[in-house]
Amino acid sequence: MNAHDSEKVVGTLVAEGYAQVETPEAAELVLYNTCSIRDKAEQKVFNRLQNFKREGGKGKTIGVLGCVAQQEGEKLFERAPWVSLVAGSASYANLGQMLVQLETGDRRVTGLSFDRAEAFDTPFTRRDNPHRAYLTIIEGCDKSCAYCVVPFTRGPERSRTAESVMAEARGLVEKGYTEVQLLGQNVNSYRDPSPAGWDFATVLARVAEIPGMRRVRYTTSHPRDFVRGIVDAMDANPAICDHIHLPVQSGSSRVLAAMDRLYTRDEYLRRIEWIKSARRRYSLTTDIIVGFPGETEADFEETLTLLDEVQYDSLFSFKYSERPNTAALAMGDRISEEEKQRRLVIVMEKQRAIQIRRNAEMIGTIQEVHVEGRHRALEQWIGRTSCNRTLNFSYPEADEKDMVGTYLPVRVTRAGPNSLVGERVFVV
C-alpha cells in the first residue's frame, strides 16, 4: 500500500510538470513516504531524515508523507526542523498546491485532514512495475484492533465507486497490464457508495472478468468481513489468483478478544474450512503478533497449535509493538522484549518446517508463472505462481529473448522454505 502511495505521489507531481530524478542527491525536492505500523518502521524514518540532512540534504526542500506524517503532524517540524512539508495520505491530491505555497514563501505547510474523499482518484498514477498494477478500492479502516495505529493514520473507511474502480481496471488492461492487485487496509469491507452498492465479492469478480485480465489479487482481508461469497467468486473466476491472505494475529480466543478482533479462534477456523473445502485449492497466508499484553504461555501455545492445524503456506510474524493512541497502551501485563523475541523465533521455526514440507509437495507439479524479472548471476528467470510463490527457472540454451511479463508453464524441480526452482515446460 505504501509502495502504491508513492506511485500516486509521483504520478500526481509528474502530471503537474515535476520530473523524477534518479537519486535523492540530484533532487531539489525530496519526499519521504513513511510507515508507522510498528515502532521500528517509525524509528527508521527519523534515522533516515537525520542521515540525509548530514549527507547533502542542505538546500533541498524536504517533505514527510504517509503515516508518520499523519501521526506526528506539526510535532515533526520540532523533531526535524529542516522538514518543510508534512502530509498524510488523504492529502496527496493537494500536493501540487502545497508545493506552490512553499515556493511562494510559506516556510511550512501541512496536509493532515481526512476530509477529502477523492484521495485515490489522483489524476494520474505512475506505476513502477510494468506488469503488476496496484489499484486502491478502499482507504482507511473502521475497525479498532487494540494494537493498531492504522485507523488513526489512515482515517475512516472510504470506498471508491465501483464505476471508478472498473474504469481504472479497464484502463490498466488497455495500458498492457495483465495482473492487478486490489488494495485496501480492509479490502473486503468494500462497499460501493453508488446506488449499485456492489460488495467486495462482486467488484472482485467484475474486475476479474475484464477481457485481457489474467490475474487478480487482493490485500488485506479482515476475517470478520471474509464472507463465503468471496470464496464462491474465487471458485468461479480462474483469473482470481489462488491465494488468500487472512491475518489471524493470534490462535487464542482470549487474546483475540483483548485485541478486539471481532472473531474467535473457532470462527476463524470456520472460514479456513470454507477455503479448504472450496472447489479450487488455495494457498493460505497470515499475520501473527506475538507478545500482545497479557499473552500467556498457554495463549501462545494456542497460536502454535493453530499453525499446525491450518498449515499456512507462508506467514508474517511480528513482535507486538506499542503504538500511539491505541487501546492496548493502557493494558497491563506487558511481555518483556526477550520473551517476545523467544516467541517470535519459535513461530518462525515452526513455520519454516511447515513451509519446507508444503513447498516440497509442489515438486513435480506444473505451475503457470508470471515472469517478473531475471536473475543474471544465477541465469534464472524470476517467476511468480498464482499461489504467490516465487518460482525461478532456467531457460535452456541461454535464450536472451525477454520473457518478462509473459506467462509460462514451469515444472517445479526443487523446493526450499521460501521459494521454488523449476524448468520450463514446452507444450508440443
Distance CA 112, CA 343 (A): 37
By the rule CB under 6 A, 145 interacts with ligand SF4: yes
DSSP, res 242: S
Burial grade of 84 (CB within 10 A; 0-12, 13-18, 19 or more) = buried
Q: Which of 16, 235, 242, 287 binds ligand 5AD (CB under 6 A)?
A: 287
By the rule CB under 6 A, 183 interacts with ligand SF4: no
Rank residues 57 and 247 by Cβ distance to ligand 5AD and give the closer one. Answer: 247
* Cβ 281 to ligand 5AD shortest distance, Å: 24
Q: What does the block give as the cell for 393?
A: 527457472
Would you mind telling me the total number of residues written for the chain in this entry? 428
Within residues 223-262, the interface with ligand 5AD by CB under 6 A covers 247, 249
Residue by residue, DSSP assigns 378-397 as TTEEEEEETTS-EEEEE-GG
Within residues 322-351, the interface with ligand 5AD by CB under 6 A covers 323
Burial grade of 122 (CB within 10 A; 0-12, 13-18, 19 or more) = buried
> Which partner, ligand SF4, ligand 5AD, none, binds residue 143 by CB below 5 to 8 Å per kind?
ligand SF4
By the rule CB under 6 A, 185 interacts with ligand SF4: yes
By the rule CB under 6 A, 143 interacts with ligand SF4: yes
> Which partner, ligand SF4, ligand 5AD, none, binds residue 321 by CB below 5 to 8 Å per kind?
ligand 5AD
Rank residues 137 and 207 by Cβ distance to ligand 5AD and give the closer one. Answer: 137
Rank residues 284 and 382 by Cβ distance to ligand 5AD and give the closer one. Answer: 284
DSSP, res 338: H
Query: Which among 241, 212, 247 is positioned nearest to 226, based on CA atoms?
Result: 247
By the rule CB under 6 A, 374 interacts with ligand 5AD: no
Distance CA 126, CA 4 (A): 9
Q: Which residue number places its CB atom closest to ligand 5AD?
A: 287
By the rule CB under 6 A, 4 interacts with ligand 5AD: no
Rank residues 161 and 220 by Cβ distance to ligand SF4 and give the closer one. Answer: 220
Q: How many residues bind ligand SF4 (CB under 6 A)?
A: 9
Can you say how many angstroms the Cα of residue 182 is from the centroid of all Cα atoms in its chain? 10
By the rule CB under 6 A, 38 interacts with ligand SF4: no
- Residue 292 near residue 250 (C-beta atoms within 8 A): yes
By the rule CB under 6 A, 218 interacts with ligand 5AD: no
> Which partner, ligand SF4, ligand 5AD, none, binds residue 37 by CB below 5 to 8 Å per kind?
ligand 5AD
Q: Which of 33, 34, 186, 351 binds ligand SF4 (CB under 6 A)?
A: 186
Rank residues 38 and 280 by Cβ distance to ligand 5AD and give the closer one. Answer: 38
Task: State the distance between the two ends of the chain, measured CA to CA, in whole angstroms.
Answer: 41
Q: What does the block give as the cell for 90?
A: 488523504
By the rule CB under 6 A, 138 interacts with ligand SF4: no
User: Is 139 strand, coil or helix?
Assistant: strand
Burial grade of 23 (CB within 10 A; 0-12, 13-18, 19 or more) = exposed
Rank residues 65 and 149 by Cβ distance to ligand 5AD and give the closer one. Answer: 149
Distance CA 172, CA 207 (A): 11
Rank residues 134 and 198 by Cβ distance to ligand 5AD and give the closer one. Answer: 134
Question: Phi and psi of 133, rounded to 5°?
Answer: -110, 140
DSSP H or E segment with residue 134: strand 132-136
Rank residues 219 and 392 by Cβ distance to ligand 5AD and give the closer one. Answer: 219
- Binding to ligand 5AD by CB under 6 A, coded x per residue (else -) over 144-163, reads ---xx---------------
By the rule CB under 6 A, 150 interacts with ligand SF4: yes
* Cβ 220 to ligand SF4 shortest distance, Å: 7
Q: Which residues bind ligand 5AD (CB under 6 A)?
A: 37-38, 147-148, 247, 249, 287, 289, 318, 320-321, 323
Residues of this chain that interact with ligand SF4 (CB under 6 A) are 141, 143, 145, 148, 150-151, 185-186, 222
